[in-house]
Amino acid sequence: MDADVIVVGAGPVGLFLAAELKLAGAEPLVLERLATPSEETKARGLGTLATEALWRRGLGDQLAEADAEGTKDLARDHGSTRGHFANIFKIVPDAGRPRTNIWQPELERVLAKHAEGVRVLRDHEVTAIQSDVDGVTATAGGREWRAKYLVGCDGGRSSVRKLAGFGFPGTPALLHTIAGRVRFAGDVPPSGRYPTGSFMQGGSMAGVTEPATGAEPEVTADELAASIERVTGTTVVVEEIHDARRFGDQARQADDYRRGRVFLAGDAAHVHSPSGGQGLNLGIPDAANLGWKLGTVLRGDKPEAFLDTYTRERHPAGEAVLRNTRAQSALLAPGPHVDALREIVGEVLDLPEANRYFADLLSGVRERYDFPYPAPAPVGEHCPDLELVDGAGRTTRLHEHTRTGRGLLLTAGHRPDPRIDVVAVANTGPLLLRPDGVIAWAGEGPLDVALDTWF
């Protein structure tokens, strides 16, 4: 074996998964197609669940530093720092559950440093995968690499997904957007919705959305200018375009996240419209969920069937995001009927209860896993970053106690257990947390059942 786990893709999901595997005592090997890290801006933020996952591993200071600049960029480009549903910028984030405005290249630099010590081989495109009863062989970089498991974190056009034969059902794109950092010469039409599409311009960013055509050539200044004219009826001159990108609102999800010894995570497992910025908020928790489980099985603490819980927990989370991004695409389509619907949704968002619902929908904090033993909420939910007070009145935060990657029991009474860490607290609990921050027990029912199920 060249490694315990081959991770295909050195984007944010792949790097975080590799770091989680290392923390769990496994030996990962990352194979990346690109020779150098991409500087494409792509994603520009982490939602609550992804932010809290990185906080749990000690990355809070780096995220906070990046968020200060990222929030300025967001205000400049969108004219608002509020969240949005289908570009209806009215959603007020939960101040008690953080998110992070950070461009993807900066996030990858933070995660690459976090994953120091992990072997990352660039310019190694995986061209073949062969599984057997003992492991997986991947062909890349002119040789074969062998591991017990392989995880495809190689994006929406995943080679792993295709080579391993995963089904990828879903819906095709109805709309497509081209965008980038643009310098115009002369006047620019106002941002807004038009009869055949929409045009947005703020700061140096500009983008135009119209019905999908299926064409995917490289974005050029002339193409952007022609698209703006088709939508707005105004002729513009695009002198320069940088960080140009094209994306659609297709919504597809792998039929399973596991085929034997091969797994999918992040965009390799699910693609959807970027509306609401939910991609990394779905992919990072995929990695958080899978990493410790692979480590548990590799150590021999659990049988291989334990890995089936990954699909059972994360597939519904992906379904929920595809559902709300499809709804957003419906609200982004041009036409007077949709305009009327958008006005009504905007009015609904003025209601505090509705605003909270939509904020929770986009952040994923309403997500709850179905466990194999009866337990009421909050069991199955992702635990927020609690303030903890011990018997002497000393105050800490939950994320200060989760860097080992082990399970954690918060309790007023001391109960040592070699499988988990124990922290004495006087102001909350008792709570048992899995390594991915999910609450496994909250004081009702036998603690031993939860311990034996997960550890």
Instruction: Find the range with the poorest average confidence among 71-75, 77-81, 262-266.
Output: 77-81
pLDDT digits (tens, 9 = 90+) for 274-299: 988 899 999 999 999 999 999 999 99
- Position 96 scores a pLDDT of 85
Handedness of CA 420, 424, 425, 426 (dihedral sign): positive
- Position 213 scores a pLDDT of 81
Could you tell me the pLDDT band of residue 79, with boundaries at 50, 70 and 90? Answer: confident
How far is the C-alpha of 149 from the C-alpha of 178, rounded, in Å? 37
H/E run at residue 45: strand 45-46
Compute the average pLDDT of residues 360-370. Answer: 95
- Position 256 scores a pLDDT of 98
Instruction: Indicate if the pLDDT at residue 350 is higher than 90.
Output: yes
pLDDT digits (tens, 9 = 90+) for 169-184: 999 999 999 999 999 9
Instruction: Indicate if the pLDDT at residue 257 is higher than 80.
Output: yes
Compute the average pLDDT of residues 380-394. Answer: 95
Compute the average pLDDT of residues 77-92. Answer: 90
- Position 9 scores a pLDDT of 98
H/E run at residue 397: strand 395-397
Compute the average pLDDT of residues 432-441. Answer: 98
More confident residue, 212 or 438: 438
For the chain, what percent of residues have pLDDT higher than 70?
100
Instruction: Indicate if the pLDDT at residue 76 is higher than 90.
Output: no
Instruction: Indicate if the pLDDT at residue 141 is higher than 90.
Output: yes
More confident residue, 114 or 78: 114
Phi-psi region of 207 (alpha: psi -120 to 50; beta: other; left: phi over 0): beta
Instruction: Indicate if the pLDDT at residue 243 is higher than 90.
Output: no
Could you tell me the pLDDT band of residue 415, with boundaries at 50, 70 and 90? Answer: confident
Instruction: Indicate if the pLDDT at residue 370 is higher than 90.
Output: yes
Instruction: Indicate if the pLDDT at residue 136 is higher than 90.
Output: yes
Compute the average pLDDT of residues 339-351. Answer: 98
Could you tell me the pLDDT band of residue 434, with boundaries at 50, 70 and 90? Answer: very high
Compute the average pLDDT of residues 333-358. Answer: 97
Q: Average pLDDT, whole number, for the chain? A: 95
Instruction: Indicate if the pLDDT at residue 414 is higher than 80.
Output: no
Compute the average pLDDT of residues 93-117. Answer: 94
Instruction: Indicate if the pLDDT at residue 252 is higher than 90.
Output: yes
How far is the C-alpha of 76 from the C-alpha of 70, rounded, in Å? 10
- Position 317 scores a pLDDT of 98
8-state DSSP, 307: G
Count Cβ atoms below 10 Å from residue 53 Cβ, excluding itself.
24
Residue 399 tokens read as: 């994320």
How far is the C-alpha of 194 from the C-alpha of 181, rounded, in Å? 21
Provide long-range contacts, Cβ within 8 A and 24+ apart, for 389-398: 389/425, 389/426, 389/427, 390/423, 390/424, 390/425, 390/426, 391/424, 391/426, 398/56
Domains parsed from the chain with CATH numbers: 3-169+252-363 (3.50.50.60), 175-248 (3.30.70.2450), 387-454 (3.40.30.120)
Compute the average pLDDT of residues 126-150. Answer: 97
- Position 427 scores a pLDDT of 93
For the chain, what percent of residues have pLDDT higher than 90?
89
How far is the C-alpha of 199 from the C-alpha of 87, rounded, in Å? 11
- Ramachandran angles phi, psi of 381, nearest 5°: -95, 160
Q: What would the 3-class secondary structure string for the chain be? A: CCEEEEEECCCHHHHHHHHHHHHCCCCEEEECCCCCCCCCCCCCEECHHHHHHHHCCCCHHHHHHHHHHHHHHHHHHHCCCCEEECCEEEECCCCCCCCEECCHHHHHHHHHHHCCCCEEECCCCEEEEEECCCCEEEEECCEEEEEEEEEECCCCCCHHHHHCCCCCCEECCCEEEEEEEEEEECCCCCCEEECCEEEEEECCEEEEEEECCCCCCCCCHHHHHHHHHHHHCCCCEEEEEEEEEEEECCEEECCCCEECCEEECHHHCEECCCCCCCHHHHHHHHHHHHHHHHHHHHCCCCCHHHHHHHHHHHHHHHHHHHHHHHHHHHHHCCCHHHHHHHHHHHHHCCCHHHHHHHHHHHHCCCCECCCCCCCCCCCCEECCCCEEECCCCCEEEHHHHCCCCCEEEEECCCCCCCCEEEEECCCCCCEEECCCCEEEECCCCCHHHHHHHHC
H/E run at residue 312: helix 308-332
Compute the average pLDDT of residues 219-225. Answer: 93
- Position 190 scores a pLDDT of 95
Give the three-state DSSP class for 175: strand
